[in-house]
Structure 1
Amino acid sequence: MNKELIINATPQGVEIALLEDKKLVELHHEKADASFAVGDLYLGKVKKLIPGLNAAFVDVGFEKDAFLHYTDLSPYARSLLKFTQQAMNDTTPNGFDFGTFQVEPEIVKTGKINEVLNGKPHILVQILKEPIAAKGPRLSCEISLPGRFVVITPFNDIVAVSRKIHSSDERKRLQKIVEAIKPKNFGVIVRTAAEGKNTAELHEDLTELVATWQTIKHNLKGAVAPAKILSEQTKTTSMLRDLLNEDFNKIVINDRNIFNDTKSYIQRIAPDKIDIVSYYHNGSPIFDQFSVTKQVKAAFGKTVNLPSGAYLIIEHTEALHVIDVNSGYKSVSNNQEQNALETNLEAAEEIARQLRLRDLGGIIVVDFIDMKLPDNKRKLIEAMENFMRTDRAKHAVLPISKFGLMQITRQRMKPEVTINTQEVCPTCNGTGKISSALILEDEIEKNLSYLINHQHKDLILAVHPIMHAYLTKGGFMGIGSRQWNWRWKYKQKVRIRANTNYHLTEFHFFDNQEDEIKL
């Protein structure tokens, strides 16, 4: 499987598209002003204890207090409270030695929130879920610091190996290596990516994470709640950390700073992959060049069409998501049962993609086309589980019920991705009438004349593709076109570029450095 990461930097933030075999499977958007991200660590102040919910509301600086449930406290909550206070009040020049830290007894699973957080103390917390709608962030006290090959969890000495590493010999080998290099008071979870790695690679990853914990300890010194103690890596580098493997063959970025940061990161974690990173500066939008825009427009919306003619209807309610599978005009044989199976298998692959693409979470109910044979139902369940194997979110697929419905649960980590593919025309505001091409041409030429008279040279005019055709169409070599007439009239060449993101009457001028000229 070929994986490509296309990164589009805009003034509003960074858009990241993950393509698998040229097909869009994940779309992420990191806002430029985003203040909360999953994995960030904060020094929070407990504001209110709610015994009825067995939870607490914690001030971490968001307009709404964050939510911390007892089940997210971690068995080592008392050790975390003690560590937080000790680090805040530490007066030693280099900080206390965490290896000599005395771990407190674990809390009981069935305990009460007010028994642990009595007195409303300051506590180190990690963002478990970003703020969604009017809700504040969801918090956890089970602090974990992920690296490329291992994850460290302070206050315990447990070593665990990912269940996705199936070889028992490899699991034992990794367990022995980590137990030999692990510092005191740190638990280590070995990730799937560690399979086949040597001691030096694992030790380097572990050393970096321990250094990060030292940074947290240093940042807590003298901190006043609420305060951000440590930021998670950017969305780009965190995706590379979690996804980068031998299947990756291209990372394309249209921003010089992100390109340099990404290249430095790849150079550090996987020098052999440095050549897959490239800087894009070809003029046309990067998402258009790699067909991301086209796939977004086709994949989002209530109806999703499948290549065979079958289609999905995706509806959202407050409690769950409902997906209906319709056969359309597809017919692969005269056998109705076979037709239903083939359509359902095709739909299952697209549904697995849609769950990742839209980041749908909670309960998803799928109404597949009815099948009578138990073997076919089993094939569909196995296929669905196989298609969802690449999904990083925790999920479960339940057997088809007697009503023919499949239920899927999927972890939701951030707000669902929704892109409205239908909108009122921004030019005519729904009236169906716009200025004629002649009037628009006249407006463009007035601006062009003004810029040339003010000593602007090597101008680039970006317009909608239809307007591009109108301005450039002419005889041989474009002779007789509007563009050719302008060159003759103003003694200066004007390049005209089509941009599919513009509405019909939108146009912008750029200089030869690709900087927009504001009029």
Structure 2
Amino acid sequence: MEEIFIERQDNNLRIALREHGTLKECLFEEEFSGPSPGQIYVGVVKDVIPALNSAFIDIGHEKNAYMVLNKINKNIKTGDYIVVEIMKEALGEKGAKVTTNISVPGRYVVLISKKGVSFSKKLLEDKNYQEHIKFNLFMPKEAGVMIRTNSLNVDIEAVNEEVRNLDLIYEKIMIDGKHSLKPRILFDCGGILGRILMDIIGDNTGKVVVNNLEDYKYIKNHIIGKPDLIVDVELYEEKVDLFCKHNIEKEILSLRNTKVPLKNGGNIVIERTEAMHVIDINSASNINEKDMEKTAFETNLEAAKEISKQIMLRNLSGIIIIDFIRMTNFNNMKKISAALIDGFKYDKKKTMIFPPTKLNLVQISRKRRGKTIYEYIEEECGLCRGKGNRIKLHYLLHMMKNEMVDIEEKFDFQNIYIELDEIYKKDVQGNVVEFIKQLKAFDKTVYVNFIENLNNYKIEPLLFNSQINKIKHLKIYDCNE
């Protein structure tokens, strides 16, 4: 069974999925005031540019949204008020991309603007089920219904109940949009948490642990009326942060490693460029000179299975290029591709895997949602002129703060000793008060030793005067002064 851990810190939402104790997927989202995919707005058309086949719409944010014109919306004109849904968030100088194809998602169905009944791709071959749905489905007057795969797990009454509830929401959106006098948001889909829950909670979910009371209430309400969801929702209230308590923080940190070992002695290396992620497969110690094709196939097969796991764990997206070990047997490469596709069968993001080239290169295109593991925990290192990255100082402080809470439960102390890589020396000494504030150590005297090429950090209490006397020169903050 799956366990889901949801930790909210200020504007950040972190979600980790574990299955049988193994970390399976990580999601990092940031709440912000800009438009997000899935939100529905009423906006006013500010400009229509036929040459660009686009319209620009004021939805109440700093940047106007843009919409591609098509047969349905080609007759809009400047000054019109229209209801739109966010497809892509704003990026750089470009505003959010929107559409007039409105959708209100549920677990079993999605209400859509186009009338009639449609089915998810996985249901297209089940003609008997399609006929059963069409004959028994409650149909809204002003919207169409797209049947999701999850509907297979419940009876038609549960499906119809959800359709009726979503229809009330859909009608309210349209009425509010019709009578609005200025651009504004009409539907938020439960914010980031609501949009994510729609995908991650399934019939294989046994427990959800959450550290925020409002999120706890929302999740409890989310599973009401969904007979296929039997989930234990637990509110976490201990001092140590949720991810630290369950050792998820250490697992996340380990994902910075670019090299991932394979069981057969080979490894995969995951690297980033400005335009894409590149994954290289190496046979390493898995070498059999008598049968190089067999060695390449075995290493590639294991790598294909591991790569899908690593992409979801690290939340990689965009263009991903995989350089498999060269093989001459075409059927072997087909088996590698099949294993790679199978590894993404439960991936909730839109993922496309393209056929391999003659050089055994495979391209993956994966939809972006949230931050990658690198964006979340890394930043440019100023000492190497932007050519390298380091762990964000505030992320290290977050872990140290939790470790200090754990130490305080075991010892009574006033002095604390910390070891940090010297690449953080300028940041710490430049703003000691902020460092102590994030560490929540104003009641402690703090000693920091900056060490060259330190891979991690160290934090420990100073319990004896003999310890303190040896490191007086390392003191950066005195709680008694």
TM-score over 0.5 for the pair: yes
- The answer as to 2:208 corresponding to 1:241 is no
Residues 208-229 of structure 1: per-residue CA shift (max 9 Å, x gap): 1111012213422542332111
Equivalent residue in structure 1 for 2:358, among 398, 402, 407: 402
Q: Which residue does 2:323 correspond to in 1?
A: 367
Q: How far apart are 1:345 and its partner, in Å?
A: 2.1
Q: Distance in 1 between matches of 2:19 and 2:203?
A: 13
* CA distance in structure 2 between the aligned counterparts of 1:385 and 1:425, rounded to whole angstroms: 34
- Aligned equivalent of 1:153: 112
Distance 1:465 1:133, change over 3 A: same
> Is 1:26 the counterpart of 2:25 in the alignment?
yes
Aligned to 1:57: 56
Q: Are the counterparts in 2 of residues 301 and 420 from structure 1 also a CA contact under 8 Å? A: no
SS in 1 for 2:234: strand
Question: Which runs of structure 2 are paired with 1:38-437 in the superposition (5 Å)?
Answer: 38-70=37-69, 73=70, 76-77=72-73, 115-154=74-113, 156-165=114-123, 166-178=125-137, 181-270=138-227, 273-274=230-231, 276-300=232-256, 302-306=258-262, 308-331=264-287, 335-412=291-368, 418-421=375-378, 422-423=389-390, 429-430=422-423
> CA-to-partner distance for each residue in 1:376-428, whole Å, 9 max, x for gaps?
10110111111111122223222211122112223335665524455279556
Q: Provide the rounded CA distance (Å) in 2 between the counterparts of 1:334 and 1:23.
A: 36
| Partner Cα separation in structure 2 for residue 253 and residue 55 of structure 1 | 43
Q: Is the 8 A contact 1:161 1:175 kept in 2?
A: no
Call closer, same or farther: CA 1:428–1:364 in 2, change over 3 Å: closer
What residue identity is the alignment partner of 2:443? N
What's the % identity of the aligned pairs?
A: 28
Q: Deviations over 1:281-305 (max 9, x none)?
A: 3433211233322222222465445
Displacement after TM superposition at 1:429 (Å): 4.7
Alignment of 1:433-452 (within 5 A): 447=443
Residues 202-247 of structure 1: CA deviation (Å, up to 9, x unaligned):
1110011111012213422542332111112233333333333221
- For the 8 Å contact 1:366–1:406, the answer to whether it is kept is yes
Report how many residues are paired: 416
Q: Distance in 1 between matches of 2:105 and 2:20?
A: 27
Change (3 A) 1:136 1:508: farther
How far is 1:8 from its partner? Answer: 0.7
Structure 2: distance between partners of 1:448 and 1:363: 48
**Unaligned 5+ runs, structure 1:** 78-114, 450-463, 472-480, 486-503, 510-518
- Distance in 2, matches of 1:239 and 1:445, equals 35
Q: Name the residue aligned to 2:7.
A: 8
Q: State the structure with more CA Rg.
A: 1
Change (3 A) 1:432 1:329: farther
Contact 2:27 2:370 in 1 (8 A): no
Residues 325 and 368 of structure 1 are in contact (CA less than 8 Å); yes or no, is this contact kept in structure 2? yes
User: Which sections of structure 2, spanning at least 5 residues, go unmatched?
Assistant: 379-388, 394-419, 430-435, 446-455, 468-473
State the shift of 1:124 in Å.
Answer: 0.8
Cα distance, 1:367 vs structure 2: 1.0
**Which has the larger share of strand?**
2
Q: Residues 113-171 of structure 1: CA distance to partner in whole angstroms, max 9, x if unpaired?
A: xx4223352211101112234432121111111111111113x4321122313543223
Structure 2 counterpart of 1:234, which letter?
Answer: G
* Letter aligned with residue 97 of structure 2: R
How far apart, CA to CA, are the structure 2 residues paired with 1:508 and 1:402?
Answer: 65
Q: Which amino acid aligns with 2:363?
A: Q
2:459 aligned residue (445, 467, 485): 467
Q: Deviation string for 1:301-358 (max 9, x for gaps)?
A: 6544545553333344454433222233334895322222222222222322343344
Cα distance in 1, alignment partners of residues 262 and 296 from structure 2: 14
Q: Distance in 2 between matches of 1:446 and 1:287?
A: 24
TM normalised by structure 2 equals 0.75
Q: Distance in 2 between matches of 1:431 and 1:45?
A: 49
RMSD (CA atoms): 3.7
CA gap of 1:361–1:51, structure 2 versus 1, over 3 A, is farther
Distance 1:4 1:24, change over 3 A: same
Give the whole-Å Cα distance in 1 for the aligned partners of 2:366 and 2:441. Answer: 54
Q: 1:153 to 1:36 in 2, by over 3 A?
A: same
Aligned letter for 1:141?
Answer: T
